[in-house]
Amino acid sequence: MRKRLVAGNWKMNFTPSTARDFINANKQNLASADADVVLCVPYISLQAAMDAAEGSGIKIGAQNMHYMDKGEYTGEISAEMLAAMGVTHVIIGHSERRERFSETDTTVNLKLLKALEHGLTPIICVGESKRQRNEERTSAVLRKQINFALDEVQAADMGKIIIAYEPIWAIGKGAQPATIEQAEEACAIVRKQVAKLKGDSAAEYVRILYGGSVNPANAKELFAQPNIDGGLVGGASTQPTFNQVIHCG
């Protein structure tokens, strides 16, 4: 059985002090959920978040990383640095990074391999645009993104990887989430492609999340789907109602 996992993506929110306050205020509820809980916080708040979460079982992750260990990359953070801090997870290839910061399928793969090298658990984001969905290209886009992301990844390492399906059109303020049927269908496509590339066993134990306007109203039904193993939660993860999402299921 794949254990449910809910990851919060705080994006560019919370200073170290407010990150600490949020975790302390919600730690008991978050830690008591029948799910793995990961909070992906801004770089500057990583240490404060880890200090606040210590001993609770809540894992702390970063929202991005570079694919080189060191060098002339002003403003970047390496997997080696994150691992040295004690960070456990890292989001790679979020649609906001792809659209606004020139993230590509190639850099996603390089970052994934580097994260694995340093013992980090990568949360790989894939998803189609509204235009691609309207053109009935969702399946082709997801297969392509998975093919690139998992290049040179060993089947035995698939248990160390989390994949998040995040339709670009369902992300952001005012966005409409995918229907339960759309989310399950897309996650099934992802799992099928993993099976094709890495084998049925790898596909069976890799955890696939849905992300895109996850909230207390839709989380329970989403998490009940056979190919959805939890959620990557954006804005709702910065609110007290995140406790309700965590406990759905």
Question: What's the chain's Rg over C-alpha atoms?
Answer: 17
- Catalytic site residue from 66, 94, 96, 184: 94
Tokens of 73: 């990359």
CB 41 within 8 A of CB 19: yes
Instruction: Tell me, yes or no, if 72 is annotated catalytic.
Output: no
CB 31 within 8 A of CB 37: yes
Residue type, 5: L
Instruction: Tell me, yes or no, if 152 is annotated catalytic.
Output: no
- Catalytic site residue from 96, 103, 128, 166: 166
The secondary structure of the chain as a DSSP string is -PPPEEEEE--S---HHHHHHHHHHHHHHHHTSSSEEEEE--GGGHHHHHHHHTTS--EEEES--BSSSSSS-TT--BHHHHHHHT--EEEES-HHHHHHS---HHHHHHHHHHHHHTT-EEEEEE---HHHHHTT-HHHHHHHHHHHHTTT--GGGGGG-EEEE--GGG-STTPPPPPHHHHHHHHHHHHHHHHHHH-HHHHHHSEEEEESS--TTTHHHHHTSTT--EEEESGGGGSTTHHHHHT--
* Cα distance between residue 25 and residue 34, in whole Å: 19
Active site residues: 94, 166
